[in-house]
Structure 1
Amino acid sequence: MQDVRREWPGAVELTVLIDDDGPRRALAYPALVGRPEPGDTVLLNTTALAMGLGTGGYAMVVAVPDRLPPDPAGPGHLVKARYTPLQATVLGADEQDSPHHGLLREADSLYGAPVIVADLHSALPPILAGLLAERPGTRVVYVMPDGGALPAWFSMSIAQLRAAGALAATVTVGQAFGGDLEAVTVHTGLLAARLVLDAEVIVVAQGPGNLGTGTKWGFSGVSAGEAINAAAVLDGRPVGCLRVSEGDARERHLGVSHHSLTAYGRVALARAQIAVPELGGPFGQRVAAAAASLGDRHELVPVGVEGLRDALASAEKDWGVRLSTMGRRLDEDLAYFLTAAAAGRHTAALLA
C-alpha cells in the first residue's frame, strides 16, 4: 500500500501498487479487514479492475496479512454475507438480544408512513432534494436491501447525506450490512425505520452497483416491486419512483425504463401511488404514455417539476453530494433527477 487517498465512515480509499501495473485505487472496510497503513502488504481482490466496472472500479482489500484486525467482540447473532470469507456478525434490531426485540416482536404496522421505492441508489439524493425542498426537517430513514453493494460503507452518498443532516439513518437488510441498524428482511427493516428510528418517510432503494442482464426479468431492481408489496402489507403508503432517462443510449431505458414497468407493473401486487413527472414536450408525453400502462394497477399522480432543477443544484452544492447516474451528471440526464425529485415532492404533500 502506498498512501490513503480519502476516507469516509466505514471505508478507506487507498493507492496500492500492483506488481508492474502501477498505482491503482483500492478500498478497505476497516471493520472487516483492519485499517491498512502506508507500507503494508495487502491481499486484494482485483475482479472489478479486470472487468472495468464503473461504480465498483476498485481493487478490494481482502486482508492485511501481517497485521490482522482484532476478533469481533460485540453482541449479535446475525451473520451477513454468509459463508463468504468476509462474512460479518452483526446485532440485528429484530433478534432476541437486541434492545428493540420487544418493540419489533409483534410489530405489524408502519402507521401510514410513506415509503418511497426507487430502482437505483443514485435516486436517493434527488428524492431527498425534492422532499426536503418542500418540507425541510423531515426525518428520513433509508432502507438498503442487498440487490447492489452489500456494505453500506461503500456509499459515499450515504455518508455525505448523513453529515449534511439530509438523512437521519440507514437500515441494512437481507445480506446487506453496515447500517445504523441491521435487520433480517425488508419488512423488519421498514418496521425498525419507523418504530425504532422514528422515520417520517422511508426510502427503499438498492445500494450502489445494481445488476442487469438486458433481459426482462434478469435485473436486481425487481426488488422495487417487492418493496412496494412489503410497504403495503405493513400499512405504509408506498410511492413508486419511476426510473426515467433522456440520456441513456440503451433503448430499454429511454423514457420510462423497462425496470420500472416490470417491477411496478408485474412484481408489485399491491397498489401504490406512482409519481409521474410533468416534464413537458414530446419527451414528457412519451414518459406519460409509458406510465399510463401502470394505471390499471396503481394510482398515477402527476407532479409538477417547476423549481426542482434549482433544488437539485442547491442540494448538490449544500450537501456536498455528487448527483450522478450511470456516469451522467445533473444536466446530462436532467429527466432522471427531476423524476426522482418529483417523487420526493409528492411525498412531502402526503405529510402536509
Structure 2
Amino acid sequence: MTSDSSPVPGSRIRWRRGRVTALGRSWRDAQEMTVEVDGDGTLRALAHPSVVGSPQAGDDVLLNTTAWAQRLGTGGYALVVAVPDRLPADPTGTGHLVKGRYTPLQVTVQGVDEQDTEHHQLIAEAEDLEGMPVVVADLHSALPAVLAGVQATDPALRVAYVMTDGGALPAAFSRTLDALADSLAGVVTVGQAFGGDLEAVTVHTGLLAARHVLHADITIVTQGPGNLGTGTPWGFSGVAAGEVCNAVHVLGGQTVGALRISEADPRPRHRGVSHHSLTAFGRVALGGVYLVAPRGLGSELGSQVEEDLAGQPQRNPIEWVDSDGLETALRDVGVPLSTMGRGLDEDRAYFLAAAAAGRYAAQLTLFGPLPA
C-alpha cells in the first residue's frame, strides 16, 4: 500500500482548492473566472460547466494547476476539476462512447458511428469521401485562415471541421470555434477529443460524418488548441497530421496540406517551411498531398520555401497559389488571428499559407485538379 508520502511513479497533478471571486467571459460550454488560492494568490481559471458544474462567485472549486504552475499550454489557465456544491446533472440519453477513457474525468458522448444513433447505418455503409478535398494543418490556429481562403474563393461552399486529439481535448476550449459556429457546417470531435456537434471514434469515421452527415464540400482537420513539441524530429503532436492524410487517402479524398511557413518564428526549425510540415507531409503521409504555397511571400522567403520543398517526395505536388485578396479575407474572417502569440501583421506568411490552402481546396471542389 502506498501513502501520500511515498507516491507511485507516474503522472503528477498539482491539486489546489480555491474560492471563486468573480466570473469572467463565457462561450460555448466554457466559463472563465478568478479564483483565490492559498499560497498561489489570484489565478485565472476555466471550467467546462457540462463536465464539472457551473461555478458562481463564492463557490469553492477543486483545481488542477499543473500546467498553470509551469506556465505551459494555450491560455495559461488553472482548470476547474469540480464544483463540489454545484455539480452538473447526471448524463441522460443513449450515448455509450467514453472519451478521456479511464482518466478521472472520462465523459460519455453519443457517437455518430455507434449503434444507437440515427446515423449508424449511414456511416456503416459509407464507402468513401467521394473525392472531397480535406485541408490538413498541424496547428489549430490555421483553422480560421483556411476557412478565410475557402470563403474568399466561393462563400457558398459548406465547410466542416474535424478536431483531432493532439491538443486540447474539449472543443469548448476553443474561442475560435465558438466565433466561427455560423460559418461552419459543423464540428466533429474524434479520438479522445469531445464536445463537437458530432462525436466519432476515429478520424476515418469523423471524415465520413463530415461528408455524409454534415454534407461538407470541404473539411478542415487540425488538432485542438495547443501543440506538444519537444524540439526533436518526431516528438511533436503535429506528426498526427500525416496520419490524417493517410486516412483521407484511404477514404478517397483529396488531401491538401496547409504548410506551416514563417519568417517571424525565432526558432530556426520553424523558419521557412517548418520541419513539422516537412515531416508530417513528406515522411508520414504516404498517399500524396497537394502542398500549397502562396505567391506573394517576397523573394527571399519565397526562395527559401522553394528550397525547403525541393526535397519532398514526387507524390507530393507543389502548388503555388495566387494570393490576391487573401490578406483582405484574413482581416475580415471575424476572429482574432494568432499563432504562437503572433498575429497577422507579425507572421503574415503563416496565415497567408493557410488561406492559400483553403483557396486551393475550393478550386479543387469547383474545377477539379488544376493543370501544372
**How big is the shift at 1:293?**
1.7
Residue 161 of structure 2: aligned partner: 142
Give the one of 261, 265, 272 matched to 2:278.
261
Equivalent residue number for residue 19 of structure 1: 38
Q: Secondary structure at the match of 2:155?
A: coil
Considering fraction of residues, name the structure with more helix.
1
Secondary structure, counterpart of 2:332 in structure 1: helix
Q: Distance in 1 between matches of 2:326 and 2:311?
A: 26
Question: By how many angstroms is 1:20 displaced?
Answer: 4.4
Q: How far apart are residue 38 of structure 1 and its match?
A: 0.9
- Hey, what's the Cα distance between the residues in 2 that align with 1:79 and 1:136? 36
Alignment correspondent of 1:328:
342
Question: What is the CA RMSD across the aligned residues, in angstroms?
Answer: 1.1
2:177 counterpart (143, 155, 158): 158
* Cα distance in structure 2, aligned partners of 1:330 and 1:148: 22
Structure 1 unaligned residues grouped into runs of 5+: none
Of 305, 311, 316 in structure 2, the residue corresponding to residue 287 of structure 1 is: 305
Equivalent position of 1:208 in the other structure? 225
**Is the Cα contact below 8 Å between 1:171 and 1:189 reproduced in 2?**
yes
Q: Looking at CA atoms only, which structure, 1 or 2, has the larger radius of gyration? A: 2
State the partner residue of 2:136: 117
1:76 aligned partner: 95
Q: CA deviation at 1:297?
A: 2.5
Q: Which one of the candidate residues 185, 190, 194 is aligned to 1:173?
A: 190
Structure 1: distance between partners of 2:167 and 2:133:
23
Contact 1:265-1:294 within 8 A present in 2 as well: yes
Q: Deviations over 1:112-168 (max 9, x none)?
A: 111000010000000011110111121111001100001000000000011xx2222
1:231 aligned onto 2:248:
yes
Does residue 312 (structure 1) correspond to residue 341 (structure 2)? The answer is no
Could you give the per-residue CA deviations for residues 261-289 of structure 1, whole angstroms, max 9, x where no partner exists? 00011100001211122223111110122
Match of 2:17 in 1: none
Q: Secondary structure at the match of 1:15?
A: strand
Give the corresponding residue for 1:190: 207
- For the residues of structure 2 that align with 1:219 and 1:168, how far apart are their CA atoms? 29
Contact 2:152 2:325 in 1 (8 A): no
Contact 1:48 1:56 in 2 (8 A): no
Alignment of 1:34-49 (within 5 A): 34-49=53-68
After superposition, where does 1:68-107 map in structure 2 within 5 Å?
A: 68-107=87-126
The letter for the 2-side match of 1:350 is L
What amino acid does structure 1 have at the position aligned with 2:84?
Answer: P
- Provide TM-score, normalisation by structure 1: 0.96
Query: How many aligned positions are there?
Result: 346
* Contact 2:63/2:82 (<8 A) preserved: yes
Question: What displacement does 1:295 show?
Answer: 4.6
Structure 1 runs of 4+ with >2 Å offset: 20-23
Alignment partners' CA distance in 2, 1:215 and 1:297: 25
Query: Who is 2:5 aligned against?
Result: none
- SS state at 2:188 partner: strand
| Among candidates 281, 296, 304, match of residue 314 of structure 2 | 296
Q: Is the Cα–Cα contact under 8 Å of residues 94 and 100 in structure 1 kept in the other structure?
A: yes
Q: Distance in 2 between matches of 1:349 and 1:295?
A: 23
Amino acid at match of 1:102: Q
Equivalent AA in structure 1 for residue 307 of structure 2: A
1:1-59 CA deviation, whole Å, 9 max, x = no partner?
01211100111111111124332211000111110111100000011210112514101
Contact preservation (8 Å) 2:54, 2:87:
no
Cα pair 1:276 1:291 within 8 Å, conserved: no
State whether residues 130 and 345 of structure 1, in contact with CA within 8 Å, keep that contact through their aligned partners in structure 2. Answer: yes
Matches of 1:3 and 1:74 in 2, distance apart?
33
Secondary structure of the corresponding residue to residue 60 of structure 2:
coil
Taking only the aligned residue pairs, the percentage that are identical comes to 62
| Deviation for aligned residue 1:306 | 2.2
**Distance between the aligned counterparts of 2:231 and 2:26, measured in 1?**
34
